[in-house]
Amino acid sequence: MKKIASFTIDHTRLEPGIYLSRRDVTPLGDVVSTYDIRMTRPNREAALSPEALHAMEHLAATYLRNHPEWGNRVIYWGPMGCCTGNYLLLSGEYQPEAILPLVKETMEFVRDFEGEVPGATERDCGNYTFMDLKSAKEAARRYVAETLSSPSSSTFSYPE
């Protein structure tokens, strides 16, 4: 069986960043862009906890889908199975550099969030107690400070 494209990336050299993972065209001709929102160095530092990613998912998805400019283009935000980041799917074709302000705003929202996590109730979520807001905020703080605030060209390009 042929490897999917994301399994051909050299994860031993992958750094935190915003990467265009793939572009797909729907049967109706719409373009969907999938972005790798990589928050840790795979296999070289601790992954994010699933509880932190779950809290981040609730916060980021809520923020993104309510965004005045981008909200109608957001298809999905959710955690990677390896717990080293998230995927953002947008309708349309944008280079990773073009979505940097959106990702930074989203992570700042997570970093600065106070209060009850949206949708974190028994009625609204299938595993509402499986969240760690404090760790989600810390992961967002670190990603903003170390990656998004001073990006380089390698922040947007997978390693060769």
Residue 112 within a domain? yes
CB environment 23-33: b (16+ within 10 A), e (fewer): eeeeeeeeebb
92-144 pLDDT per residue, tens = 999 999 999 999 999 999 999 999 999 999 999 999 999 999 999 999 999 99
Could you tell me the residue range of the domain that residue 119 belongs to? 14-149
Among all chains, which residue has been given the structure tokens 């499986």? 130
Most distant CA pair in the chain, distance: 47
Residue 141 in domain: yes
CATH number at residue 48: 3.30.1360.80
Order across the sheet with 85-91: list the strands. Answer: 17-25, 31-38, 85-91, 74-79
Is residue 155 one of the residues assigned to a domain?
A: no
pLDDT tens digit sequence for 31-73 = 999 999 999 999 999 999 999 999 999 999 999 999 999 999 9
Please state whether the predicted TM-score (pTM) of the whole model is above 0.85: yes
Count structural domains, the chain: 1
Q: What is the pLDDT of residue 109?
A: 98
